[in-house]
Amino acid sequence: MAQKRIQTKETKKSKAAVADASTAERIKAAARIVFQKKGYAATRTRDIADEAGINLALLNYYFRSKEKLFEEVMLEKFQKFFSVIINVVNNSSTTLNEKADLFIDNYIELLLENEDLPIFVLSEIRDKPERFVSNTRLKSILRDSSFVKQLKEKRPDMDSLQLITSLLGLLVTPFLMRPLLVASGTLDTTGFRKFIGERKILTRKWFNAFLKTK
């Protein structure tokens, strides 16, 4: 009988853990939708609770604040992105240009789907640089990857870190400027996506120019 009671308690704990994980995932799924639709600043925790079909108290039980929820959602996305990038830059069977093309495509697609991500990354770099580095394997990308080795072979006269930093700047800057471009009426949402499509082509040309310039 005692053994049966213990098993019953363990079963209840297991079910509770599954329920907790399911609810937390449902909240994060809702947050991804709302953050993408409204952006971080315009999103309220109540919006996320409504999207998840739960009450606000339950959301606050799992995630203490909008900031905490945003951090978890963005960090997951960023880790997923970096896992893709790691595979791209460490693939020894692709050429330097092929790596650059895949890097540009993946980076821009991620930013188009998560326009608040650059702001999140900048805040992580400023406030928690150690955690940012540990979550991204940054040194592996910047110093030890196949991509870097090929850059050094192509341009031994130039610091590969300079080339990578320039490439990242070309990709990220338009997304940092997006609020200004839209608020000023220079571009609307459709116009911005077209602008970014052109940016893909230009970034490839600029990167190739970096490789050829002596």
Mean confidence (pLDDT) of the chain: 83
Q: What is the mean pLDDT of residues 146-173?
A: 90
Structure tokens at 24: 């937390």
Q: Which of 121, 113, 123 is nearest to 35 (CA)?
A: 113
Mean pLDDT of 135-156: 83
Q: What is the pLDDT of residue 8?
A: 56
Overall average pLDDT of the 178-207 stretch = 93
Per-residue pLDDT, averaged over 76-105, amounts to 86
Domains of the chain by residue range:
1-64, 66-214
Q: Is the pLDDT of residue 85 over 90?
A: no
Task: Locate 196 and state its tokens.
Answer: 């970014």
- When pLDDT is cut at 50, 70 and 90, the band that residue 29 belongs to is very high
Q: How many CB atoms lie within 10 A of CB 200?
A: 15
- Which of 87, 181, 79, 88 shows the shortest CA–CA distance to 124? 79
Question: Which residues contact residue 101 at a Cβ distance below 8 angstroms, ignoring those fewer than 6 apart?
Answer: 204
**pLDDT of 35:** 85
| Average pLDDT over every residue of 36-56 | 89
Residue 22 makes CB contacts below 8 A (sequence gap 6+) with: none
More confident residue, 2 or 115: 115
CATH code matching the domain that covers 66-214, chosen among 1.10.1670, 1.20.120, 1.10.3470, 1.10.357: 1.10.357
39 has pLDDT over 90: no
pTM above 0.75, yes or no: no
Residue 157 token pair: 């006269």
What pLDDT is stored for residue 36 in this prediction?
76
User: Topology of 1-64 in CATH?
Assistant: Arc Repressor Mutant, subunit A (1.10.10)
Q: Residues near 204 by Cβ (< 8 Å), separated by ≥ 6?
A: 100, 101, 104
Contact 55, 40 (CB under 8 A): no
Give the pLDDT band (50/70/90) at residue 139.
Answer: confident
**DSSP alpha helix (H) spans, 55-145:** 56-62, 66-89, 96-113, 117-127, 129-136, 138-139
Span of 38-42, 71-75, 120-124, 173-177 with lowest mean pLDDT: 120-124
